């Protein structure tokens, strides 16, 4: 019997399996396209003839394929091998699919952990890499060491399967907020005749402010401490109005700054003008 199995040997799955091998784990691997297993076999992995054989070979199996739905389909094909095993699923999908997967595994008498790999394959195994994991705490405790081989800063973030999709959506929206902010920033600069390389050279100046924005959020939201902020919602609304006015004057698309302004004014209209902008987490969440 091997220490752990890995199913799904794309770029990420192969990185996971190789990292485990390099850290002294015995690993069984399987992939529908068997040729993807050959480099891992050369590095010491055992190649299973089927997904069921891979699951049977180890107490835990990491599955890293396209989606929760594909994982459910694959596990149905080898249902007799699942009982008593732990499935560590690192694919993607929504809350409904994650909950369906967890329910299926529970019905099959299997334990489970679901995770997000917050890194590219090249960063697997690094001390700072994070796998965000949900599932039963006892199961996490049992497999924490192996998971932290894959990402040294990995953490348990919840117990319910659907929590993972919500966390992904939250983190993805945060990142894309910055990306779309740059896109709209580029649009208004282009309309105003500012060279885009000049805009790009100034983006790091804004990046320097991001830690204070994060701290502002961290200091106010978790404990709902929205009073006496360094800048009030009214102040933000006025600044957002100025930015929106500039977009309109330049003839630039302004959907994103319009949204920002509208949200801030909803908070002001709700009587939160003297509160922190982050009070919107409460007010919008209760609408």
Tell me, what's the pLDDT at 121?
Answer: 97
Count of other CB atoms within 10 angstroms of residue 61? 26
Question: Which residues make Cβ contacts (< 8 Å) with residue 104, sequence separation at least 6?
Answer: 72, 75, 76
What phi, psi does 117 have (nearest 5°)? -95, 110
DSSP state of 272: I
Tell me, what's the pLDDT at 89?
Answer: 98
Tell me, what's the pLDDT at 80?
Answer: 95
Report whether CATH 3.40.50.720 matches the domain 4-159: yes
Domain layout of the chain by residue ranges: 4-159, 166-285
Report whether CATH 1.10.1040.10 matches the domain 166-285: yes
Judged against a pLDDT cut of 80, whether residue 287 lies above it is answered with no
Tell me, what's the pLDDT at 87?
Answer: 98
Same fold: 4-159 with 166-285: no
**Three-class HEC string of the chain:** CCCEEEECCCHHHHHHHHHHHHCCCCEEEECCCHHHHHHHHHCCCEECCCHHHHHHHCCEEEECCCCHHHHHHHHHHCHHHCCCCEEEECCCCCHHHHHHHHHHHHHCCCEEEEEEECCCHHHCCCCCCCEEEEECHHHHHHHHHHHHHHCCCCEEEECCCHHHHHHHHHHHHHHHHHHHHHHHHHHHHHHHCCCHHHHHHHHHHHHCCHHHHHHHHHHHCCCCCCCCCCCEHHHHHHHHHHHHHHHHHHCCCCHHHHHHHHHHHHHHHHHHCCCEHHHHHHHHHCC
pLDDT band (50, 70, 90) for residue 285:
confident
pLDDT tens digits along 64-74: 999 999 999 99
Environment class of 230 (CB within 10 Å of its CB; exposed 0-12, middle 13-18, buried 19+): exposed
Tell me, what's the pLDDT at 35?
Answer: 96
pLDDT tens digits along 182-214: 999 999 999 999 999 999 999 999 999 999 999
**Overall average pLDDT of the 163-184 stretch:** 94
């Amino acid at each position: 019997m091997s220490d752990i199995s890995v199913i799904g040997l794309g770029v990420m799955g192969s990185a996971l399996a190789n990292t485990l091998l390099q850290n002294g784990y015995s690993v069984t691997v399987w992939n529908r396209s068997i040729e993807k297993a050959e480099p891992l076999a050369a590095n010491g992995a055992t190649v299973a003839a089927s997904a069921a054989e891979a699951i049977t070979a180890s107490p835990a199996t990491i599955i890293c394929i396209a989606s929760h739905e594909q994982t459910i389909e694959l596990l149905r094909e080898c249902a007799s091998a699942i009982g008593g095993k732990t499935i560590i699923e690192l694919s993607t999908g929504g809350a409904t699919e994650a909950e369906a997967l967890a329910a299926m595994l529970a019905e099959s008498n299997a334990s489970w952990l679901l995770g997000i790999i917050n890194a590219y394959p090249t960063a697997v195994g690094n001390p700072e890499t994070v796998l965000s994991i949900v599932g039963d705490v006892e199961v996490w405790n049992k497999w924490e060491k192996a998971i932290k081989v894959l990402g040294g800063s990995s953490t348990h973030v919840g117990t319910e399967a659907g929590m993972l999709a919500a966390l992904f959506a939250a983190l993805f929206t945060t990142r894309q907020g910055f990306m779309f902010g740059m896109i709209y920033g580029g649009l208004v600069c282009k309309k105003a005749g500012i060279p885009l390389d000049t805009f790009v050279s100034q983006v790091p100046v804004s990046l320097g402010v991001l830690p204070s924005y994060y701290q502002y959020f961290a200091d106010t939201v978790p404990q709902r401490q929205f009073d006496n902020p360094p800048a009030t919602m009214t102040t933000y609304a006025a600044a957002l109005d100025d930015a929106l006015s500039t977009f309109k004057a330049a003839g630039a698309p302004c959907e994103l700054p319009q949204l920002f302004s509208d949200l801030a004014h909803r908070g002001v209209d709700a009587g939160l003008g003297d509160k922190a902008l982050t009070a919107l987490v409460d007010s919008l969440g209760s609408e």
